[in-house]
Structure 1
Amino acid sequence: MHTLNLGILAHVDAGKTSLTERLLHTAGIIDEIGRVDDGNTRTDSLALERRRGITIKSAVVSFALDDVTVNLIDTPGHPDFIAEVERVLSVLDGAVLVISAVEGVQAQTRILMRTLQRLRIPTLVFVNKTDRAGARYEQVLRSISEKLTPNAVAMGPAVTGLGTRDVSCPPYADDDHRLTGRLTDLLTEHDDALLAAYVEGGESVAPTRLHEELAAQTKRALVHPVYFGSAVTGAGITALTRGIRELLPAAGGDADGPVCGTVFKVERGPAGEKLAYVRMFSGTVRTRDRLPVARGPVAVAEGKVTGIDVFAHGADIRSDSVGPGRIAKLRGPGDIRIGDAVGAPRKEAQEHHFAPPTLESVVVPTAPASRGELHFALAQLAEQDPLIDLRQDDIRKEVSVSLYGEVQKEVIQATLAEEFGIDVTFRGTTTICLERPSGTGAAFEIIDTDDNPFLATVGLRVDPAPVGSGVDYRLEVELGSMPYSLMRAVEETVVETLEQGLCGWRVTDCTVTMTHSGYWPRQSHSHAVFDKSMSSTAGDFRNLTPLVLMAALDRAGTTVCEPMHRFRLELPTDALGPLLSVLARLRAVPGAPSLDGALCVLDGEIPAARVHELQQQLPGLTRGEGVLESVFASYRPVTGAAPERSRTDHNPLDRAEYLLHTVRRVGSQGDCR
């Protein structure tokens, strides 16, 4: 037996969870196929998922296909929960991308396929819902080749009974000339040896050789077999399961090698304990092992494994150990988060595959007395979804959450009510902007001067950096000019302070350089203990750095940038004129339209904050015939007055206000000078 960790991905409502149910039924795991509409599917276990009929959290279920143990991961299809898909991608050996035969290739389908191709994840395509009225074959196949990948190959001829419950999706025989001809054309593009065999053999290559090469190139993510079928009727499922078994790669790993795994999901057990879903890449974890946990390149904790559940035969069962290629739920390590590495960190750098959330909203408890409980509950939700990204405002006693969309807001509200007993409302959703330095600015403060109440010398310079580079911190002072703890205090405070720029937005794409440093060594009066009033502490540098950095940033200036979506519109040609005037009012930048008779295709960019408004107006502008696809593209400087975000700190841009709060705290806490 070998293991395959398989992801099922799709645009919402393409039938992804129904396909999961059908695969489980085919494998003998369930006796009756559940329905999403009835709320009785195996992987949608949350009450909220059953009630809404959508997948919100990724779920794992295991079954066997002959000699292959498949750990199937069902992921959300709604774009508001793309973060769940983000986390699953790092643990997959292969994927099935589901497309509706009725709706065809949709916006989220294209985003998912581009990401799967970029990560070189072997992918099969399953065109579902061939039993539905309006299902199409040729058009969908052509759309896959044009919009997703030209390296797609249909594994069966035209569907019979398309759009009816009697639909049939028979596969090609291995020696069918229609299949062998297409495979020869496609596979020889990527394999010179196969091309030579074809040239030397004259007319054809042996079907067995073609099938072997199809498997090899599919496993290298060079080609993508396409299957048609219906999860509801079971049509085409046998061919798909054969493809999963024969064409996708098995998980590897050395059971005796160093322990290496990735946490892709965290949930809480009945007693509130953390359960970490871990994909093992090498080594073996056993109960009672002490397991190091790393966050990026830094080891952050070590915890004792008190329990292991592995997935097998449709259930999670208790086990004494888990080896490479498997997925398990680990109990024990408390300080563990999504994205952490257990054991040795993987060499592959962790990166974001999708755009970050571009919206945020303040969460307001209905009962003001439950603010503390609300923060605790949101912190637990953030453990399960780090991209929620809590923003605590201690001044106004408020907390904000980052969002992908309005549906996610509704889910958070329902989860807080049902799981934590906290009723909340949300303020209006706002767009998350960012700031980039407009120029160069520098500032410094010298120790023991009248206007510097802190025992520290700090000088900083802010320079613009290339777009997408983030924040880079550098030194122009000797590393040994101060104790490392003081140097580290400045660097950490720089990163924290840049979370709020001149207009309150996070500052990025800049280089911050330390230009001045100085401190007073540890001192004491004669025959006395250490005196903080005569000695520099890390608190001095943590308190002074925001003043210096914001003064430098103020001199550099910043440009506020808003998130932009790239859009694609298909609409009747006669609706183009009225639509262009609406796009201008929404501050969109359209490109040149492409006209094809009565159909017009228009590409361009639009502020993320205006996408929802465009979606609402589109049906009326196009007689219900307009189709809009949009995806995050980039951040672009705001035109007109820059939006501001309320600050959550004591405002180092206002020296008097900042010192009033900070120095008062210094007086009551001597170690925070």
Structure 2
Amino acid sequence: MGSLNIGIVAHVDAGKTSLTERLLHHTGVIDQVGSVDAGSTQTDSMEMERRRGITIRSAVVSFTIDGLQVNLIDTPGHPDFIAEVERALRVLDGAVLVVSCVEGVQAQTRILMRTLTRLRIPVLIFANKIDRGGARYHELLDTIGEKLTPHRLAMSTVTDPGTTTARSLPLPLSEGKRAASVTDLLADGSDAFLESYLTDPTHLTEHDYRTELARQIRQARVVPVYFGSAVTGQGVEELLDAIKEFLPPSDGNASARLRASVFKIDWAPSGEKVAYARVYSGQLTAREPVDTYRRGRTDEVIEGSGKVTSVRVFAHGTTTHETVAGPGDIAKVYGLAHVQVGDQLGSPEGLPSGGYFAPPSLETVVGAAQPDQNAQFYQHLLRLAEEDPLINVRRNETDRTISVALYGEVQREVIKGLMLDRHGIEMVFEETTTVYVEKVEGTGHGLEVIWQNEFPATVGLRIEPGPAGTGVQYRIEVEPGGLPAAFHKAIEETVRHTLQQGLYGWEVVDCVVTLTDTAYFSPVTSAGDFRKLTPLVLMTALRTAGTTVHEPVNQFEVEVPDDTVHAVISRLAAARAIVDQCDTHGPVSRLHGTIPASSVHDIERQLPGLSHGEGVFVSSLSGHRRTTGNPPTRPRTDGNPLHRKEYLSHVLKRV
């Protein structure tokens, strides 16, 4: 029957991992349901996950439903690990969004649903914990309709919600008043279905309704809601039926060119790198060479190659077997020593150019508590960054300090714990700071002429502002044939690398760099000469143009009780937030606006106390705004091409 790749996504503690266990039990993969609290679940395999009771890294398990092979990816729920969720979303055919009937729709739930909607990934909602005290049915459905999607459809009802005897009962689609309400929902996406209903309502059968519902779910137009309990198993059988009936199975041509996406990096007990890849087309075969493609930091495509030594496809639970991986398969791939998360194997077609979620906006300097361990600590940290590239490990070659990018405090504690568990190294963190960017103010020029500088090369560059959100655009005004292609490549790559640190040490974004002059002397000149000279020229141009420092800003929405609005607005103002809109709906008010990313954590921490514990805060990176006062700076790690003598001493190894 083919295969299907689905993800389980949710706010932390909604019951995602427990639901995964119950699905595995229902499909005969495991004999006994594991417990998150006891650390006995299939997908939380890391020691830290078992100890903390949270999912940190995505995990893959496999089961079958009446012959349909389902690969299920259990993802983290905590916002600090949103990058791990993003990597999983890229390889899904559908998703199950878990919502707690007790806690309801939470901030992370809304962020996830918005992303799934934007990506047009078909979604089933599983309303979990119907047996827990405080569980709600009608109120939760209303909240889902208001905050997640207006096109939601209840597929079950609940008797005795909030008690241990709670039961989930399926709802038909074609009976009585229910048929009319379902028709209203489906008619928005199908004039033909509406016409059939108006012509003769009695002619439409339950099968007709389910067929049309399946079509619209697969188009991500309608979201069915199933109520149940992962702990007792209520509603899980109906959810399994829905996964088979409503989510679209994988498709792809096995005879086409290979295209597979790497979404996770792990390590075998022997220390060998293991890449988790979802195959879209073609076949992934052991003992065969394979091309790799990835996006660089400035969106350029970087090509590579390697030889696959082993391909193991998920078949039953967490077990795999050696075979050829075809379209729809998720495989563990061995032998690609240089592969990274986000790489595409076989073909660059469809290679993503940007993230679904904002990159980390915090940074901190790290080190080993024992200074004599710093060398091995850095190597271990680089290896950890292969599992999570967005932590962006940077080392200052002058003072040897190391920094990492972070989403929040929980991620910091996890990195610290992983370093201790895996390598026995105690980490220390300095104060967390915000990651800023620089933007070009005017137009600047730089020129270094051959034989008038330390390198046998001429480079001239012009830099000027570019449209917002366009990154670094590189252009050539010289005759392309006047310089070997390798030299052109060296200049462009160095330009993009150099702009990762502007006048104040922050990455320069949204600018246009134009190559205006070139010369070389054969056979003396090498690509290395252009790589060493270009930073001096570019920084001269950048200094002439000038830059301003901008801080990351989040767009936010706050929902609070009406009687707490004044206190919340005052606290937002103190956090340098700007409230653009305030809407009141009965006893609830919603505030919209922008807030510095550096203030988000404090607001999230203080909001419960300001709002009787009822406030909801949702935010996402919306851009940057210029800082006021003295621009913040970051120590340079590039030899400092702003200071010629210091830079030349660095690149020429002078004393």
CA distance in 1, matches of 2:386, 2:565: 46
CA distance in 1, matches of 2:155, 2:188: 18
Consecutive unaligned residues of structure 2, counting only runs of 5 or more, are none
Instruction: Rate the CA distance shift 1:299–1:397 in 2: closer, same or farther, 3 A.
Output: closer
Pair 1:510-2:499 in alignment? no
CA distance in 2, matches of 1:645, 1:212: 58
Please list, as runs of the form range in 1=range in 2, the aligned pairs for 1:8-87 lying within 5 A after superposition.
8-87=8-87
Query: SS at 1:601's partner residue?
Result: strand
Residues 276 and 331 in structure 2, CA contact (< 8 A), matched pair in contact too: yes
Query: What is the CA-CA distance between 1:199 and the residue it aligns to?
Result: 2.8
| Residue of structure 1 in register with 2:456 after alignment | 455
CA RMSD of aligned residues (A): 1.9
TM-score in terms of structure 2 length: 0.96
CA distance in 1, matches of 2:203, 2:643: 78
Residues 253 and 282 in structure 1, CA contact (< 8 A), matched pair in contact too: yes
| Residue of structure 2 in register with 1:527 after alignment | none
Query: SS at 1:312's partner residue?
Result: strand
Residues 260 and 280 in structure 1, CA contact (< 8 A), matched pair in contact too: yes
Instruction: Rate the CA distance shift 1:71–1:662 in 2: closer, same or farther, 3 A.
Output: closer
| Residue of structure 2 in register with 1:465 after alignment | 466
Instruction: Rate the CA distance shift 1:517–1:345 in 2: closer, same or farther, 3 A.
Output: closer
Residues 292 and 299 in structure 1, CA contact (< 8 A), matched pair in contact too: no
Pair 1:595-2:584 in alignment? yes
Query: What is the CA-CA distance between 1:598 and the residue it aligns to?
Result: 4.3
* Residue of 592, 595, 609 corresponding to 2:598: 609
Query: What is the CA-CA distance between 1:330 and the residue it aligns to?
Result: 1.4
Please list, as runs of the form range in 1=range in 2, the aligned pairs for 1:145-164 lying within 5 A after superposition.
145-157=145-157, 159-164=158-163
CA distance in 2, matches of 1:126, 1:454: 65
Residues 83 and 390 in structure 2, CA contact (< 8 A), matched pair in contact too: yes
Instruction: Rate the CA distance shift 1:173–1:585 in 2: closer, same or farther, 3 A.
Output: closer
Letter in 2 for 1:497: T
CA distance in 2, matches of 1:645, 1:420: 29
CA distance in 1, matches of 2:57, 2:534: 41
Instruction: Rate the CA distance shift 1:186–1:572 in 2: closer, same or farther, 3 A.
Output: closer
CA distance in 1, matches of 2:457, 2:464: 23
CA distance in 1, matches of 2:604, 2:195: 52
Query: What is the CA-CA distance between 1:512 and the residue it aligns to?
Result: 0.3
Q: Which moved more, 1:325-334 or 1:466-475?
A: 325-334
CA distance in 1, matches of 2:3, 2:293: 26
| Residue of structure 2 in register with 1:404 after alignment | 407
Query: What is the CA-CA distance between 1:566 and the residue it aligns to?
Result: 2.2
| Residue of structure 2 in register with 1:255 after alignment | 254
Q: Which moved more, 1:41-50 or 1:432-441?
A: 432-441
Pair 1:423-2:426 in alignment? yes
Deviations 1:603-641 (A, max 9, x none): 221111112222333344344443333332221211332
| Residue of structure 1 in register with 2:622 after alignment | 633
Query: What is the CA-CA distance between 1:359 and the residue it aligns to?
Result: 0.8
Letter in 1 for 2:343: D
Pair 1:387-2:390 in alignment? yes
Deviations 1:217-242 (A, max 9, x none): 11111111111111111111121111
| Residue of structure 2 in register with 1:109 after alignment | 109
CA distance in 1, matches of 2:535, 2:572: 41
Consecutive unaligned residues of structure 1, counting only runs of 5 or more, are 523-534, 669-673
CA distance in 2, matches of 1:649, 1:304: 33
Q: Which moved more, 1:283-292 or 1:94-103?
A: 283-292
Instruction: Rate the CA distance shift 1:470–1:126 in 2: closer, same or farther, 3 A.
Output: same
Query: SS at 1:21's partner residue?
Result: helix
Query: SS at 2:642's partner residue?
Result: coil
Query: What is the CA-CA distance between 1:298 and the residue it aligns to?
Result: 5.4
Query: SS at 1:322's partner residue?
Result: coil
Pair 1:585-2:586 in alignment? no
Letter in 2 for 1:27: T
Please list, as runs of the form range in 1=range in 2, the aligned pairs for 1:116-155 lying within 5 A after superposition.
116-155=116-155
Instruction: Rate the CA distance shift 1:615–1:288 in 2: closer, same or farther, 3 A.
Output: closer
| Residue of structure 2 in register with 1:554 after alignment | 543
Query: What is the CA-CA distance between 1:119 and the residue it aligns to?
Result: 1.3
Letter in 2 for 1:309: R
Query: What is the CA-CA distance between 1:397 and the residue it aligns to?
Result: 0.7
| Residue of structure 2 in register with 1:288 after alignment | 287
Instruction: Rate the CA distance shift 1:318–1:564 in 2: closer, same or farther, 3 A.
Output: same
Query: What is the CA-CA distance between 1:407 and the residue it aligns to?
Result: 0.6
Please list, as runs of the form range in 1=range in 2, the aligned pairs for 1:162-181 lying within 5 A after superposition.
162-181=161-180
Query: SS at 1:99's partner residue?
Result: strand
CA distance in 2, matches of 1:567, 1:476: 43
Query: SS at 1:592's partner residue?
Result: strand
* Residue of 358, 363, 373 corresponding to 1:360: 363
Query: SS at 1:285's partner residue?
Result: coil
Q: Which moved more, 1:606-615 or 1:50-59?
A: 606-615
Pair 1:210-2:213 in alignment? no
Deviations 1:18-43 (A, max 9, x none): 11011111111112111111111111
Instruction: Rate the CA distance shift 1:325–1:578 in 2: closer, same or farther, 3 A.
Output: closer
* Residue of 440, 443, 447 corresponding to 1:444: 447
Query: SS at 1:324's partner residue?
Result: coil
Pair 1:657-2:646 in alignment? yes
CA distance in 2, matches of 1:489, 1:474: 14
CA distance in 1, matches of 2:612, 2:143: 24
| Residue of structure 2 in register with 1:88 after alignment | 88
Query: What is the CA-CA distance between 1:174 and the residue it aligns to?
Result: 4.4
TM-score in terms of structure 1 length: 0.93
| Residue of structure 1 in register with 2:4 after alignment | 4
Instruction: Rate the CA distance shift 1:193–1:620 in 2: closer, same or farther, 3 A.
Output: closer
Q: Which moved more, 1:588-597 or 1:493-502?
A: 588-597
